[in-house]
């Protein structure tokens, strides 16, 4: 039977609970255990799919097509365990399920209540599909004391009883602030937060204390005394140089041992952390650096492109270089007297990431043109591939009005929803395969690569599976015109009907992909496209 680790946060949000969960899972994995991490989000949206990136950051897409919280990206990057729909649940999804059942009459006239109906649904979610695991880590979003998270804390309280003694551990992540004027670290907020949690019936076993200064032994002992945990179970957590240094740092602070001790498990031999040591060595001792410009829309909002940023770092790990990411607002190129070259000349590579809507599109098209003409490595992801096709159509195929129907009606729909450009037969065939035109194409899909293409040599094969999140597709009616302009369709859906990859073989590095390769990149297994893109940036940096 799997053992459960419940993770809550106190005092303030943004304490890095998700990273802590991911790091702890990685440490347990390094000790030979099988792990899975789940995220409970107390908000009322059914999933983050419709939430603005400004509010919620990136939507992380799983193989099975779920739109989930970005913490699932950390989980997958740190453990290599592919996340699933069943790893993320929100209050909204739980209430939706319960209300549907209630309307169907499934409750046989009973009054439907938070306890037991909502708490039962939360418990069922935590327990589902856990047979083949040693540890299930459940992270509760938000901060203890929030009204929204109460049913989740109550469900944990019940589960801890249901699971029986020794089968669950509660970890509370808190803040120990440093008051400069007093020159002291303060433990009171932690004491209050633990009291709040204990009042709800959940006594933490391990406290992870985020602090900016080392936690002196005296303060550690004080927290242990007041919060009713052993001193060894008070684990200090200082800021790390890189997120990938966090697992080793937590290990040095004794987190994995404290957790195993709390379960009554003898920690045994030291975990093998060589994977993490190698990554931090590559990050701290780079042999060069490159600057990549990301021409996007949600600039200044790192979280909106979380996985992309990490995948670029992974590309740097693969090549032993530091990757400086320069976020450039595509709209700056739309100003009549803006000088594209001035912004893009200092870059060793250019990437246009995924996006929705017209804003910034012309600026992105201008940066594709710059990259193509100047031989700067170009990577177009999803929207970035679509813009590369529009650029090619306008400037090399003489289709001046080339556009995407996402921006409104157009005479030249180089990009459009399949029902707008495919034959009725074609659409029917795809729908029979379960792929509905006009709805969001979500999750993993296979693609076939041309054996002579640049991308097949990068992947080292012709069969791939990557994750998608888009509604529009490049219109194959323009394939001939685009290929005459040098843009080769080198990857297609297995039925040959949808373009998945375009490339320019006559360019140092020019690839557009309809999917999101960044979602599957890991620090210990950098995605081949990112590794190759950064290698091209390194080459470019040696030329300039
Ligand atoms: N807006 C485009 C579409 O829906 C691209 C989406 C994306 O980049 N993820 O097809």
Q: Whose CA is nearest to atom 8 of ligand 1?
A: 354
Q: Which residues contact residue 450 at a Cβ distance below 8 angstroms, ignoring those fewer than 6 apart?
A: 456, 462, 488, 490, 491
Q: Whose CA is nearest to atom 1 of ligand 1?
A: 356
- CATH class, 5-9+12-279 region: alpha beta
What is the signed CA dihedral for 513, 514, 516, 517, rounded to 10 degrees? -30
Atom from ligand 1 closest to the CA of residue 383: 8
Atom from ligand 1 closest to the CA of residue 516: 9
Both tokens assigned to 337: 């007297």
Closest by CA position to 170, among listed 17, 385, 285, 365: 17
Count of alpha carbons within 13 angstroms of residue 197, beta-carbon side = 32
**Residue 12 backbone class (left: φ over 0; alpha: ψ -120 to 50; beta: rest):** beta
For residues 219 and 187, is the Cβ–Cβ distance under 8 A? yes
Å from CA of 355 to ligand 1 middle:
5
Known binding-site positions for UTP: 13, 186-191, 222
Closest by CA position to 507, among listed 367, 349, 376: 376
Which of 49, 469, 473, 500 for mutating ligand 1's site (highest number of atoms within 8 Å of CB)? 469
Å from CA of 515 to ligand 1 middle:
9
Atom from ligand 1 closest to the CA of residue 469: 9
Q: Which residues contact residue 289 at a Cβ distance below 8 angstroms, ignoring those fewer than 6 apart?
A: 321, 322, 323, 324, 541
pLDDT by 10s per residue, the chain, length 544: 899 999 999 988 889 999 999 999 999 999 999 999 999 999 998 888 888 877 788 999 999 999 998 999 999 999 999 999 999 999 999 999 999 999 999 999 999 999 999 999 999 999 999 999 999 999 999 999 999 999 999 999 999 999 998 999 999 999 999 999 988 899 999 999 999 999 999 999 999 999 999 999 999 999 999 999 999 999 999 999 899 999 999 999 999 999 999 999 999 889 999 999 999 999 999 999 999 999 988 666 778 899 999 999 999 999 999 999 999 988 888 877 778 888 888 899 999 999 888 999 999 999 999 999 999 999 999 999 999 999 999 999 999 999 999 999 999 999 999 888 888 888 888 888 776 666 789 999 999 999 999 999 999 999 999 999 999 999 999 999 999 999 999 999 999 999 999 999 999 999 999 999 999 999 999 999 999 999 999 999 987 6
| Domains of the chain, residue spans | 5-9+12-279, 286-543
Closest by CA position to 440, among listed 472, 464, 465: 472
- Establish whether domains 5-9+12-279 and 286-543 are of one fold: yes
Give the chain's end-to-end CA distance (angstroms, integer).
59
Known binding-site positions for L-glutamine: 54, 355, 383-386, 406, 471
Query: Can 58 be counted among the known catalytic residues?
Result: no
Å from CA of 267 to ligand 1 middle:
47
Query: Can 373 be counted among the known catalytic residues?
Result: no
Query: Can 192 be counted among the known catalytic residues?
Result: no
Which of 330, 390, 472 for mutating ligand 1's site (highest number of atoms within 8 Å of CB)? 472
Q: How many CB atoms are closer than 10 A to CB 351? A: 27
Spatial distance between the Cα atoms of 404 and 38, rounded to a whole number of angstroms = 38
What residues are in contact with ligand 1 under a 6 Å CB criterion?
354-356, 382-383, 406, 469-472
Å from CA of 429 to ligand 1 middle:
22
Q: Whose CA is nearest to atom 7 of ligand 1?
A: 354
- Residues 286-543, CATH architecture: 3-Layer(aba) Sandwich (3.40)
């Amino acid at each position: 039977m799997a053992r459960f680790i419940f993770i809550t946060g106190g005092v303030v949000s943004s304490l890095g609970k998700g990273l802590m969960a991911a790091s702890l899972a990685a440490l347990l994995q390094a000790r030979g255990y099988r792990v899975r991490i789940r995220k409970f989000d107390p908000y009322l949206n059914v999933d983050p799919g419709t939430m603005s990136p400004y509010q919620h950051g990136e939507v992380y897409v799983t193989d099975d097509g779920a739109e989930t919280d970005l913490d699932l990206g950390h989980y997958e990057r740190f453990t290599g365990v592919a996340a699933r729909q069943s790893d993320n649940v929100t209050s909204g999804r739980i209430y939706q399920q319960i209300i549907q059942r209630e309307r169907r009459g499934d409750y046989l006239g009973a009054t439907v209540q938070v306890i037991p109906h909502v708490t039962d649904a939360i418990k069922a979610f935590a327990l589902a599909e856990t047979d083949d695991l040693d540890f299930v880590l459940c992270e509760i979003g938000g901060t203890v004391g929030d009204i929204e998270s109460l049913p989740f804390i109550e469900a944990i309280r019940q589960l801890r009883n249901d699971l029986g003694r020794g089968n669950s551990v509660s970890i509370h992540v808190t803040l120990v602030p440093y008051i400069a004027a007093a020159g002291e670290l303060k433990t009171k907020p932690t004491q209050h937060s633990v009291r709040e949690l204990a009042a709800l019936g959940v006594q933490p076993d391990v406290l992870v204390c985020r602090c900016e200064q080392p936690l002196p032994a005296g303060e550690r002992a004080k927290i242990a005394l007041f919060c009713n945990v052993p001193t060894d179970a008070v684990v200090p957590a200082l800021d790390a140089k890189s997120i990938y240094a966090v697992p080793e740092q937590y290990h040095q602070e004794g987190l994995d041992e404290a957790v195993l001790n709390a379960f009554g498990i003898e920690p045994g031999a030291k975990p093998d952390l060589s994977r993490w040591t190698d990554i931090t060595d590559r990050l701290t001792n780079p042999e060069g650096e490159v600057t990549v410009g990301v021409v996007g829309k949600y600039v200044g909002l790192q979280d909106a492109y979380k996985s992309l940023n990490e995948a670029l770092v992974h590309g740097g790990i693969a090549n032993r270089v530091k990757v400086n990411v320069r976020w450039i607002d595509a709209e700056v190129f739309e100003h009549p007297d803006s000088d594209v070259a001035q912004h893009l000349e200092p870059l060793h590579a250019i990437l246009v990431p995924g996006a929705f809507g017209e804003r910034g599109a012309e600026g992105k098209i201008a940066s594709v043109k710059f990259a193509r003409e100047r031989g700067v490595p170009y990577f177009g992801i999803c929207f970035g591939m679509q813009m590369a096709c529009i650029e090619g159509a306008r400037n090399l195929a003489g289709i001046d009005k080339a556009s995407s129907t996402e921006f409104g009606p157009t005479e030249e729909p180089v990009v459009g929803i399949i029902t707008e450009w495919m034959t009725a037969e074609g659409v029917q065939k795809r729908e029979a395969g379960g792929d509905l035109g006009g709805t969001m194409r979500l999750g993993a899909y296979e693609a076939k690569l041309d054996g002579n293409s640049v991308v097949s040599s990068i992947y080292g094969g012709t069969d791939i599976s990557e994750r998608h999140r888009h509604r529009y597709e490049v219109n194959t009616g323009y394939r001939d015109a685009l290929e005459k302009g040098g843009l080769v369709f080198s990857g297609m859906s297995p039925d040959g009907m949808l373009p998945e990859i375009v490339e320019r073989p006559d360019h140092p590095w020019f690839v557009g992909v309809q999917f999101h390769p960044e979602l599957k990149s890991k620090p210990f297994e950098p995605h081949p496209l990112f590794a190759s893109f950064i290698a091209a940036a390194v080459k470019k940096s040696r030329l300039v």
